[in-house]
Structure 1
């Protein structure tokens, strides 16, 4: 990249030494700075702004297009005051950094937020209604991002990830979430028997979400503390897990299409619960 790290003011620091790649990590593309294994590369204006509003201390590096300087002035002033390096770069460099053209002119390297344990998450909940999403096999980052956005909108208390799930927040998911990823904690579940016992001990009922054969979402009473179990794109949710759920729910429709996309279905299920609270 041609532009140096911003160092026009004494309080701005030069770039940190590039850390070595994690063992087994693919080599960086030519001209793209490496980041630490504990860092996530965010992009998109709302995703970066939401991170800055919630946890500015997580910011490690910032890259932006010149046109965004007026819009991101508070963030840039914070970078200077806290000796966090930023660079004004061209469109081509931003495309390389984000590995996409959908970066909206800003890319940031930030510290990852590790998922909470189920016990730690339950300890944060007060009494009263609470809604969670158990993602059973969801893998597409754009669907995950859309789910996070809906979860933030409807006030979901946590996203529950099975012990064996490899799903994690990515730059693509965070951009699609439009800031929602900063408002909904990720929770790592223990093995199934322990997860079920802990959730039920905290008053949660589980609801299997089925394409067909479940009770009508709009006609079924829903408990105040509930976890929807959303299945994988295509395969749906695991039938064994469905048998452990107190409720089995479906979204009624015309039948003109087989089913809704998992992200769209999630939004409908969330609104169904919220309407009853």
Structure 2
């Protein structure tokens, strides 16, 4: 009875080497099983296995700080081929003089067409980088070619980007980063120009407005002034002064002087006629009308907006421009241009 029941039971085999047999199967069989399993399990209509995984694709989340235009650009790139070359606009925000970055002590900005062309003409080795709009590239072909040969950088950017760099809309579509000029001492200037028969130099005191200073330098360059004496020569590095000067600053030597009285005395020793230009006619100060003044070959013109009696007392001649009751005085840059014109006419 027992033997019969034992024989009727099914024989159970334990597959101890089942893992080995799976490993020994051909790659083709494994691939076929994998595909069949994926086809059977991937799309189940009525029933779901306990461990089935459903893939969900969520839209890309963008940071709120990202601009909408840039977000749409990135979204389009998600579905494009990664091997496709993209030509994008340069959206990099320049770091010079913008967004909290401090202007470097040894560099400054020059903008507007004539000012940048003057820098390229007189001191191109001081150029560090160029920012320019597409419309202005034709005007600066020579400069761009020179930058390429020198392996210096230039960026073709939008008008809005140059406005951010210069912090002004009056940039003319072009901007240069240049090294600041190193001013001369008066002794260095005299060593260079002392042998000349004719020379004209101006000493500017208390003219701090960059627009007035730029207009003054434009007039000075127009009438052939060779040097300008300033207490603060860094005023000539102002982008606004350079723009108004239309490149005139680049044609004039910058001379630093901490003591105007000593500088005027030194000019007298070298044969310069020192003329003080009054901003307006004063009864307390005896002056000469411009038409009655005689000029020598070497002239130092002292210019100031606020009356400085010490400088007036050091001058050989004091001159004023005759006005009327409607307007007693001219803008300092205009008055300087009139005097310089008279000096050039007599010489």
Superposition TM-score, scaled by structure 2 size: 0.69
Stretches of structure 1 that go unaligned for 5 or more consecutive residues are 6-14, 20-27
Farther off after superposition, 127-136 or 34-43: 34-43
- Determine the structure 2 residue equivalent to 1:118: 186
Contact 1:4-1:87 at 8 Å conserved across structures: no
Work out the CA distance in 1 between the residues paired with 2:181 and 2:204: 18
Q: For residues 223-267 of structure 1, give each alpha carbon's deviation from its aligned partner in whole angstroms, at most 9, with x where no partner exists.
A: 2211111112xxx33112101111010112334202001011110
Is the CA contact 1:161–1:187 (under 8 Å) kept in the aligned structure 2? yes
Which of 300, 316, 319 pairs up with 1:227?
300
SS at 2:237 equivalent: coil
Superimposed CA distance per residue, residues 158-186 of structure 1 (whole angstroms, 9 cap, x where no aligned partner):
11113x67633211111111111110111
> After the TM superposition, which residues 112-191 of structure 1 pair with which residues of structure 2 at under 5 Å, given as runs?
112-125=180-193, 126-162=195-231, 167-191=235-259
Q: CA deviation at 1:194?
A: 2.6
CA separation in 2, counterparts of 1:254 and 1:205? 29
Higher RCO (C-alpha under 8 Å, 6+ residues apart):
1
In the TM superposition, what are the counterparts of 1:202-221 in structure 2 within 5 Å?
202-210=270-278, 211-213=280-282, 214-221=287-294
* Count of aligned positions: 253
CA distance in 1, matches of 2:272, 2:206: 21
- Mapped partners of 1:166, 1:107: distance in 2: 19
| Counterpart in the other structure of 2:326 | 256
Aligned-residue RMSD, C-alpha: 2.2
Q: Distance in 2 between matches of 1:156 and 1:167?
A: 18
Aligned to 1:266: 336
The answer as to whether partners of 1:209 and 1:237 remain within 8 angstroms in 2 is no
Tell me by how many angstroms 1:274 deviates.
0.7
CA contact (8 A) 2:98 2:165 kept: no
In 2, Cα distance between the equivalents of 1:192 and 1:107? 34
Secondary structure class of the residue paired with 1:249: strand
Instruction: Return 5+ residue gaps in structure 2 as ranges.
Output: 1-87
| Matched residue, 1:3 | 90
Alignment of 1:67-82 (within 5 A): 67-82=135-150
Q: How far did residue 104 of structure 1 move? A: 0.3
Question: In 2 relative to 1, CA 54–274 (structure 1 residues): closer, same or farther, beyond 3 Å?
Answer: same
The residue that corresponds to 1:87 in the other structure is 155
- If you compute each CA radius of gyration, which structure gives the higher value, 1 or 2? 2
Under a length normalisation based on structure 1, what TM-score does the superposition of the two structures give? 0.85
CA–CA separation in structure 2 for the residues paired with 1:275 and 1:37: 41
Task: Quote how far apart the aligned CAs of 1:192 are.
Answer: 3.6
Partners in 2 of 1:141 and 1:134 — Cα distance? 16
User: Which structure shows the bigger proportion of residues in helix conformation?
Assistant: 2
Matches within 5 A, 1:189-200: 189-200=257-268
